């Protein structure tokens, strides 16, 4: 088994690992990558931690990050308007899902940012962006538009661990080890993840094609779901994604378009958390 070190990761030659930091233990790779993004580090700055002591998921939830997982955050600098930032999550989900299929895992995307294997969460994605106001002037974006300055893409993948190591008894989680019945080489996994992420991010302008793959890989469309957003709850059937990647929910009040929210799949009257 290869060891994840700065040198071994840099030797992958990935455009998404131009600058690499590997920490034995860190509060959160997400916070460190954000610091690096704010200090002008380039696209492809990658922070990896073997253990996170303050890993966090969406909505500030704690993210258990013991040794054996792949806990990483990437600084991306896509050259587009801030309004397109939500594309990153779906695009990353497609790349990460395809990478896991490469390892023989049938990873399905659960809207908006989870990857499941056999219905259990194996990976969470956290994309957080920073924008700047476009300067006015000829050849520049119109005043008032906001360019994306950076996106920090956090990936938490349960790899060479047992589900019990994650200490989240209330949640349905799985790990690569428990699905494959063996450990995988983290460097090889990282190489395949970065390569698939890079391919998908390069075609983000052609978002329709990314969404076609998203549709083929997801496990949310067609399901009856409950989505909570800003304290409001919507029950309905997930029918499709909009051209910009919002979930289209068919509810008794009509179609609702949602870019974010907490989702529960409803089965036989029972709700299933992610
Ligand atoms: C979620 O499903 O809520 C998203 C989880 C994202 C966890 C990753 S682990 C690496 C990076 N650092 C963090 O503190 N969080 C993200």
Q: Which of 36, 65, 88 to mutate to test the pocket of ligand 1 (most atoms within 8 A of CB)?
A: 65
Averaged over 250-261, what is the pLDDT? 94
Q: Mean pLDDT score of the chain, rounded to an integer?
A: 92
**Ligand 1 atom index nearest CA of 61:** 3
Cα radius of gyration (the chain): 18
8-state DSSP, 164: G
Residue 106 has pLDDT above 60, yes or no: yes
Q: Please indicate whether residue 71, judged by its CB atom, sits closer than 6 Å to ligand 1.
A: yes
| Distance from residue 137's CA to the centre of ligand 1 (Å) | 39
Question: How many Cβ atoms sit within 10 Å of the Cβ of residue 3?
Answer: 11
Contact between residue 116 and residue 108 where contact means Cβ atoms under 8 Å apart:
yes
What was the pLDDT predicted at 137?
55
Q: Please indicate whether residue 126, judged by its CB atom, sits closer than 6 Å to ligand 1.
A: yes
- The whole model's pTM is what? 0.93
| Distance from residue 124's CA to the centre of ligand 1 (Å) | 6
CA distance 271 to 227: 11
Burial of 137 (0-12, 13-18, 19+ CB in 10 A): exposed
CA distance 182 to 173: 17
């Amino acid at each position: 088994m290869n060891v994840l070190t700065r040198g071994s990761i840099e030797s992958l030659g990935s455009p998404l690992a131009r600058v690499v930091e590997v920490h034995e233990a860190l509060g959160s790779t997400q916070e460190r990558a954000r610091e690096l993004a704010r200090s002008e580090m380039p696209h492809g700055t990658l922070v990896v931690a073997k253990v996170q002591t303050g890993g966090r998921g969406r909505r500030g939830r704690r993210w258990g990050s013991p040794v054996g997982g792949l806990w990483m955050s990437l600084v991306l600098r896509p050259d587009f308007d801030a309004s397109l930032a939500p594309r990153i999550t779906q695009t990353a989900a497609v790349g990460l899902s395809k990478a896991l299929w490469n390892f023989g895992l049938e990873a399905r995307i659960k809207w908006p940012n989870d990857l499941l294997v056999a219905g259990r969460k194996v990976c969470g994605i956290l994309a957080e962006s920073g924008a700047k106001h476009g300067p006015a002037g000829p050849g520049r974006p119109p005043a008032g538009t906001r360019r994306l300055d950076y996106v920090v893409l956090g990936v938490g993948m349960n790899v060479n661990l047992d589900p019990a190591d994650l200490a989240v008894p209330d949640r349905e989680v799985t790990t690569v080890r428990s699905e494959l019945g063996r450990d995988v080489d983290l460097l090889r996994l990282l190489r395949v993840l970065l390569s698939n992420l890079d391919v998908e991010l390069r075609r983000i302008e052609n978002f329709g094609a990314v969404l076609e793959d998203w549709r083929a890989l997801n496990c949310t469309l067609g399901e009856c779901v409950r989505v909570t957003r800003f304290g409001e709850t919507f029950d309905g059937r997930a029918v499709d994604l909009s051209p910009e990647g919002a979930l289209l929910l068919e509810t008794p009040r009509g179609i609702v378009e949602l870019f974010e929210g907490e989702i529960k799949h409803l089965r036989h009257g029972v709700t299933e958390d992610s």
